[in-house]
A and B are shown apart, each in its own frame.
Chain A
Amino acid sequence: MNKETLTNLVKDWRVALLLLLVIGSLVSIYLAPPNPEKGLEGNLQFGLDLQGGSWLQMEFQSVVVAYSTDGSVGDLIENLRTGLETEVIQIDENHLEIRKNVSRADLEPIFAASGASIVTYQEGVSPFTADEVKRILNEKVNALGMQDARINLLTPTGSEYPQYVRIELAGVDMATAQEIVGTQGLFEIRVQTTGNETEHVLYGDQITSVGVPQRDTYGQWGVGFSLTDAGAEAFRAAAIESGAVDNPNAHHLVMILDNETVYSAPLSGELAGQIRSGPVSSLSASTGTGDSGREDAMTLQIHLRAGALPVKVDIVGSGSVPAALGEQFKMTVALAGIIALLAVGVMVYYRYREPSIVLPMLAVNFAEIVILLGISRFIIQLDLATIAGLIAVVGTGIDQLIIITDEVLHEGRVPSQNLYLKRYGRALRIIAISAATVVIAMLPLALMDLSTLRGFAIITILGVLIGILVTRPAYGKIIMAILSK
């Protein structure tokens, strides 16, 4: 090939686009930002099984029920609360979240007794509760200074409500991971005595339930919580002895989580009056009006629970990979990739015996891998399954390059540009149909929240798309230039 054809080739938009994407991918892996200490890995994102770490998948012990009732919703909720001894929350006009893993059959009689009926029943929690769980877990992980944590809510296909939460912690062993998820902080309420001195009132174990942030008639946000009888007694005794009942503003009530003050406010006049006449077990801590009041109420709610999740969760799956083994797997898959590419090279050479066809074919195939890695850096982590997908894509990629080559090579060399284009068009048609089928076949897996094979499916779809849009057209152009020399 002389210099002129080469320049013309590079000027062709198909070839130019391919080169541009390869360069862009290399830049994204190695230069944006530069990451020299990682060596060949650059900025590639690895999944837990190649990096080392632990994952836990937890199922919310909760159901969401759509109901219809002729009677009062309040009564229904109250009956459910007492009947099931659990928190029941109204999500919207006709949905309730029941924070217990209770079967539909067990719910029916309670609904019937309240003059209501169940319209739909699904396991899971409201998106609101799910976000709260995510926030709490995030806060816990951040408090421990772990940056490399991923927390994902998972909704099974066919359901509207998140049913699982998956947490992935890089570089952490299983025991530590379980501890992070399982342990609660130490929550304490103290009362101000004289000056800045405070005195112990009660610990978090005296709190029986914590409500969701709510706004009262004055627009004040607040979080309601209930105390045990002993707790209410202790609260009353402390409020009276410290003088908080008589002079609330000089004797704030202070909430402390793990030795840090998270809330401090005086008793309201109304509550002071109630406490004087007897113990009060239902309390509310107000946080102010507007958006900031709401934000504060959310945080306070988490603190009141002392980092406990609002819904009970069961661990339904877990796993861990030591970093050394992850490193070994990484080496092994890199080797698998290289050997696969070599095998392809040998097979193709055996068939065509023509370096001017085989080399561009392999180069285009390799370019495809580089582009895929460059893009994948931004959207998925490479785990073992994803790499299997990558190698499978190399398989279909080479398939299609062979289809193009054989189609245009039909009966020897290409006589005219026109005939070439016709044949090339026919090859592209075959490729387009098969690309469409692969995309459709993989789409369900790519969209499903639950499958750990999302990466596999996404990389396959991506590979097929890059193939049909970028690498096949460029290869067609290159092979034409080579054949017509």
Chain B
Amino acid sequence: MEFSGYDINKYSPRQMVALPLALLLLALAVLGYTTLATGLPLTPGIDFAGGTAVTVFTSDSRETIEATFAGYPLLSVGEGVGDGKYVQFGPMDDDQYRSFSALVNEKYPGAKVDQIGETFGKTLQSQAFLALIFSFIGVAIVIFIAYRNPVASGAIVLAAASDITITAGAMQVLGIPLSLGTTAALLMLIGYAADSNVLLTTRLLKRKGKFEEKLSGAFRTGIIMTTTTLGAIVAMWVVATAGQIQIISAIASVLIIGLLADMMNTWMLNAGILKAHIFRSGKK
């Protein structure tokens, strides 16, 4: 597959990094604004805020469901293909939850129900935050050990951080909440970012040959790589969304956004930085 529309060697480093950096800043602004407004960079889902999620296959309309649960803190009714419904509720106290439970059992005995308490959600949130921090530090250390070149390693870490930030910003804009599943997907992005960026950096720094050829060669491999992965993930997203499997659908949507962000960050941001670095240090 060739993306003839983008000739990676045509642009100057400054042009290459402009768009990714602009998007990164925009994402930071979105996340910063959300943090100021709510105290958290992303809207927490039920896993982290507490609440109840009900997955049910029913021919009842959204209005019927809303009417059935009128007395409860209903947040949203999501509809999949066919009869699948994903209904979310805010936190309830013990008594309310008991009567809620009885109601679900009576109306929709075939439903999948998951409930997380508010304080337990907070604990999960801080644990997920810890995981994110540990992961990122660990990855940065591995990359620095692997290259021992501050510019190359810094560019990879920046690209990975930017992947996560831009994806998180997009999640906030699209209304995908932060849950355990999406946190895992953000972590997984670090892995995908490493694949493509390490490929680029290794090809450019370790191979002999003309810079332009090395770059377009790496680009060709990288694009086929990412689009293939994208194919697998899109397939997963389509089936899971149609089948109303919330957790897989959420993981897949975050991975799709992230892979798109990664293509941009690898082939514009990281490639731009490396191009400037290589030309400045005079090794062609």
Chain B: interface secondary structure? helix
A410 to B209 CA separation, bound complex (whole angstroms): 12
- Enumerate chain B residues within 8 angstroms of A385, measured Cβ to Cβ: 180-181, 184, 247-248, 251
Check A336 against B114 for contact (C-beta < 8 Å): no
| Interface assignment of B73: CB less than 8 Å from any CB of chain A | no
Check B235 against A339 for contact (C-beta < 8 Å): yes
A333 to B181 CA separation, bound complex (whole angstroms): 16
Check B243 against A332 for contact (C-beta < 8 Å): yes
Greatest chain B CB density within 10 A among A336, A348, A464 is at: A336
Check B198 against A318 for contact (C-beta < 8 Å): no
- Enumerate chain A residues within 8 angstroms of B231, measured Cβ to Cβ: 340, 343-344, 346-347
| Interface assignment of A451: CB less than 8 Å from any CB of chain B | yes
Check A174 against B101 for contact (C-beta < 8 Å): yes
Q: Which of B103-151 contact A (CB under 8 A)?
A: 105, 109-117, 119-120, 123-124, 127-128, 130-132, 134-136, 138-139, 141-143, 146
Q: Which of B226-275 contact A (CB under 8 A)?
A: 226-229, 231-236, 238-240, 243, 245, 247-248, 251-252, 255
Check A396 against B111 for contact (C-beta < 8 Å): no
Greatest chain A CB density within 10 A among B57, B183, B236, B248 is at: B236
Q: With A395-B229, A450-B124, A451-B127 as given contacts, are A332 and B194 in contact (CB-CB < 8 Å)?
A: no
Q: With A320-B112, A453-B180 as given contacts, are A388 and B195 in contact (CB-CB < 8 Å)?
A: no
Binary contact track A429-443/B, C-beta < 8 Å → 1, others 0:
110011011101111
A384 to B181 CA separation, bound complex (whole angstroms): 10
Q: With A59-B120, A398-B232 as given contacts, are A335 and B138 in contact (CB-CB < 8 Å)?
A: no
| Interface assignment of A359: CB less than 8 Å from any CB of chain B | no
A317 to B115 CA separation, bound complex (whole angstroms): 5
| Interface assignment of A158: CB less than 8 Å from any CB of chain B | yes
Greatest chain B CB density within 10 A among A156, A433, A441, A453 is at: A441
- Enumerate chain A residues within 8 angstroms of B116, measured Cβ to Cβ: 316-317
A339 to B132 CA separation, bound complex (whole angstroms): 31
| Interface assignment of B55: CB less than 8 Å from any CB of chain A | yes
A410: nearest chain-B partner, CB-CB: B217
Q: Which of B186-209 contact A (CB under 8 A)?
A: 187-188, 190-192, 194-196, 198-199, 202, 206-207
A339: nearest chain-B partner, CB-CB: B235
Check A398 against B228 for contact (C-beta < 8 Å): yes
Check B255 against A392 for contact (C-beta < 8 Å): yes
Check A436 against B131 for contact (C-beta < 8 Å): no
Check A340 against B134 for contact (C-beta < 8 Å): no
Q: With A319-B112, A328-B243, A395-B232 as given contacts, are A437 and B127 in contact (CB-CB < 8 Å)?
A: no
Check B130 against A444 for contact (C-beta < 8 Å): yes
A6 to B247 CA separation, bound complex (whole angstroms): 43
8 Å CB contact of B192 from A332, A394, A395, A440: A395
8 Å CB contact of A322 from B109, B131, B221, B238: B109
8 Å CB contact of A325 from B111, B117, B233, B248: B111
B234: nearest chain-A partner, CB-CB: A343
Q: How far is the CB of B188 from chain A (nearest CB, A)?
A: 5
Which of A133-141, A260-268, A400-408 contacts its partner? Answer: A400-408
8 Å CB contact of B194 from A426, A438, A456: A438
| Interface assignment of A218: CB less than 8 Å from any CB of chain B | no
| Interface assignment of B224: CB less than 8 Å from any CB of chain A | yes
Q: How far is the CB of B241 from chain A (nearest CB, A)?
A: 10
A339 to B232 CA separation, bound complex (whole angstroms): 8
Check A456 against B105 for contact (C-beta < 8 Å): no
Q: Which of A156-202 contact B (CB under 8 A)?
A: 156-158, 173-175
Check B142 against A456 for contact (C-beta < 8 Å): no
Check A384 against B143 for contact (C-beta < 8 Å): no
| Interface assignment of B220: CB less than 8 Å from any CB of chain A | yes
Q: With A426-B202, A434-B194 as given contacts, are A348 and B228 in contact (CB-CB < 8 Å)?
A: yes
A384: nearest chain-B partner, CB-CB: B247
- Enumerate chain A residues within 8 angstroms of B187, measured Cβ to Cβ: 441-442, 445, 457
- Enumerate chain A residues within 8 angstroms of B40, measured Cβ to Cβ: none
- Enumerate chain A residues within 8 angstroms of B105, measured Cβ to Cβ: 173-175
A57: nearest chain-B partner, CB-CB: B120
- Enumerate chain A residues within 8 angstroms of B139, measured Cβ to Cβ: 437, 440-441
A173 to B104 CA separation, bound complex (whole angstroms): 12
| Interface assignment of A342: CB less than 8 Å from any CB of chain B | yes
8 Å CB contact of B188 from A392, A434, A436: A392
A438 to B194 CA separation, bound complex (whole angstroms): 8
Q: How far is the CB of A271 from chain B (nearest CB, A)?
A: 42
| Interface assignment of B1: CB less than 8 Å from any CB of chain A | yes
A389 to B232 CA separation, bound complex (whole angstroms): 12
A376 to B228 CA separation, bound complex (whole angstroms): 25
A452 to B46 CA separation, bound complex (whole angstroms): 14
| Interface assignment of B225: CB less than 8 Å from any CB of chain A | yes
- Enumerate chain B residues within 8 angstroms of A402, measured Cβ to Cβ: 221, 224-225, 228
Check B181 against A453 for contact (C-beta < 8 Å): yes
B146: nearest chain-A partner, CB-CB: A433
Check B127 against A406 for contact (C-beta < 8 Å): no
Check A440 against B142 for contact (C-beta < 8 Å): yes
8 Å CB contact of A324 from B110, B206, B243: B110
Check A441 against B138 for contact (C-beta < 8 Å): yes
Q: With A388-B247, A434-B198, A444-B135 as given contacts, are A395 and B1 in contact (CB-CB < 8 Å)?
A: no
| Interface assignment of A448: CB less than 8 Å from any CB of chain B | yes
A38 to B217 CA separation, bound complex (whole angstroms): 48
- Enumerate chain B residues within 8 angstroms of A403, measured Cβ to Cβ: 195, 199, 221, 225
B248: nearest chain-A partner, CB-CB: A388
Check B112 against A316 for contact (C-beta < 8 Å): no
- Enumerate chain B residues within 8 angstroms of A444, measured Cβ to Cβ: 130-132, 134-135, 138
- Enumerate chain A residues within 8 angstroms of B202, measured Cβ to Cβ: 426, 429-430, 433
Check B131 against A394 for contact (C-beta < 8 Å): no
B193: nearest chain-A partner, CB-CB: A437
- Enumerate chain B residues within 8 angstroms of A87, measured Cβ to Cβ: none
- Enumerate chain A residues within 8 angstroms of B224, measured Cβ to Cβ: 347-348, 351, 402, 406
A169 to B228 CA separation, bound complex (whole angstroms): 39
Q: How far is the CB of A29 from chain B (nearest CB, A)?
A: 22
Q: How far is the CB of A101 from chain B (nearest CB, A)?
A: 10
- Enumerate chain B residues within 8 angstroms of A342, measured Cβ to Cβ: 235
Binary contact track B141-176/A, C-beta < 8 Å → 1, others 0:
111001000000000000000000000000000000
Q: How far is the CB of B205 from chain A (nearest CB, A)?
A: 11
B242: nearest chain-A partner, CB-CB: A332
Greatest chain A CB density within 10 A among B119, B202, B234, B235 is at: B235
15 contacts between A and B (CB under 8 A): A319-B112, A332-B239, A332-B245, A340-B236, A351-B224, A387-B248, A396-B195, A399-B196, A402-B225, A406-B221, A438-B190, A441-B188, A444-B132, A451-B180, A456-B184
Which A residues are within 8 Å of any B CB, using their own CB? 49, 57, 59, 156-158, 173-175, 314-322, 324-325, 328-329, 332-333, 335-336, 339-344, 346-348, 350-351, 384-385, 387-389, 391-392, 394-396, 398-400, 402-403, 406-407, 410, 426, 429-430, 433-434, 436-438, 440-445, 448, 450-453, 456-457, 460, 464
